[in-house]
Amino acid sequence: MSIHSAIPIALGERRVLKPGKLRWLRAVAWMLGMAVLIGLSLRVAMVPVMQLLPKGAPVLGFAASGAACLIALGIYTLLVRLGEDRWPGELALRPAAGQLAIGLGLGSAMFVAVMTILIGAGLYSFEWHGAAPAWRGAGLALQSAVVEELLVRGVILRLLWRAFGPVVAFAASAALFGLGHAFNPGATVMSVVCITLEAGIMLGALYALTGRLWMSIGVHGAWNFTQGYVFGAAVSGGNFGPSLARSVAHGDASVWLSGGGFGPEASLPALLVCTSVGLMALWLAARAGRFIQPGA
């Protein structure tokens, strides 16, 4: 990552978030309002589209996922511009390519490391299938990465940070992210803990380190795509569709070691690998003074 492309997180200083009485309450209300408006916009725009899409049209499905991302990015930008009187530097285009590339590489590398451990330890079976269409997996990875990072990091983490400071913001946003996966197929207490720590903390730390959402989006998308399409493993308990390989946890393996039906991200190796990266990113962010916010 280029140091010159990294900035402190812009918490918001004007209009809804201007200094004054009950700023914390205004920040929380704005957070809830942004989340609802983005969610409703996606629902109103995309539900009819998805109902009209013909089955067995993966290219159109990928295009719909791309459209959902553009809608979410557009609504976020509009809300920040109107409500906070600023252009969202967290979505600045100039550093996007480089930070996305780093995120994509990091996310892929971390998951490969996790699967190397799981397969090498005899916790997972791996069977190579060969070429498979990537449209469905790419669309799911793209949409989940962009929309979830906008909502969880760009809205929840940022505005809780404005309201209560970084410690509460990290703890609450990570916990909400983990609990948001609590009712997925195969979810366990271990899976919630893993998602909270390895994704909630790590992705937030990358946002704090860079001041942009691009690296977090890249890591999130690459992790899911590598997990679901390349290795053919369950992704948060779900199926990504066609894949290059098939990876399944052995039935006699302890769920806390293998992740069980939820997938490798709920495994001990994933927890150790991702939390280590997250702690390193937090340390780098602290060293760069990212948690010292003027006027916070």
Q: How confident is the model at residue 112 (pLDDT cuts 50, 70, 90)?
A: very high
Q: What is the pLDDT of residues 159-184, one digit of tens each?
A: 999 999 999 999 999 999 999 999 99
DSSP 8-state class, residue 90:
G
* Whole-number average pLDDT of the chain: 94
pLDDT at residue 260 is higher than 80: yes
What pLDDT score does 4 carry? 45
What share of the chain has pLDDT > 70, as a percent? Answer: 97
The model's pTM is 0.95
Burial class (CB in 10 A: 0-12, 13-18, 19+), 66: middle
What pLDDT score does 3 carry? 43
What pLDDT score does 1 carry? 46
Q: What is the pLDDT of residues 58-107, one digit of tens each?
A: 899 999 999 999 999 999 999 999 999 999 999 999 999 999 999 999 99
Query: What 3-state DSSP class applies to 180?
Result: coil
So where are the chain's domains?
A: 3-287
Q: What is the DSSP string of 36-59?
A: HHHHHHHHHHHHHHHHHSPTT-HH
Q: Are 225 and 110 in contact (CB under 8 A)?
A: no
Rounded to whole angstroms, the Cα distance separating 68 from 156 reads: 20
Q: Measuring CA to CA, which residue among 110, 66, 112, 114 is closest to residue 206?
A: 110
Give the number of other Cβ atoms within 10 Å of residue 295's Cβ: 7
Q: What is the pLDDT of residues 71-84, one digit of tens each?
A: 999 999 999 999 99
Q: What is the pLDDT of residues 209-220, one digit of tens each?
A: 999 999 999 999
Q: Are strands 245-249 and 124-128 parallel, antiparallel or unpaired?
A: antiparallel
User: Would you state the torsion angle of the CA atoms of residues 265, 157, 240, 226, taken in this order, to the nearest 10 degrees?
Assistant: -60
What are 225's two structure tokens?
């795509």
Q: Are 155 and 27 in contact (CB under 8 A)?
A: no
Instruction: Kindly give, in sequence order, each residue whose CB lies less than 8 Å from that of residue 242, ignoring residues fewer than 6 positions away.
Output: 132, 133, 134, 136, 137, 229
Give the number of other Cβ atoms within 10 Å of residue 280's Cβ: 13
What pLDDT score does 5 carry? 67
Q: What is the pLDDT of residues 205-247, one digit of tens each?
A: 999 999 999 999 999 999 999 999 999 999 999 999 999 999 9
Q: How confident is the model at residue 131 (pLDDT cuts 50, 70, 90)?
A: very high
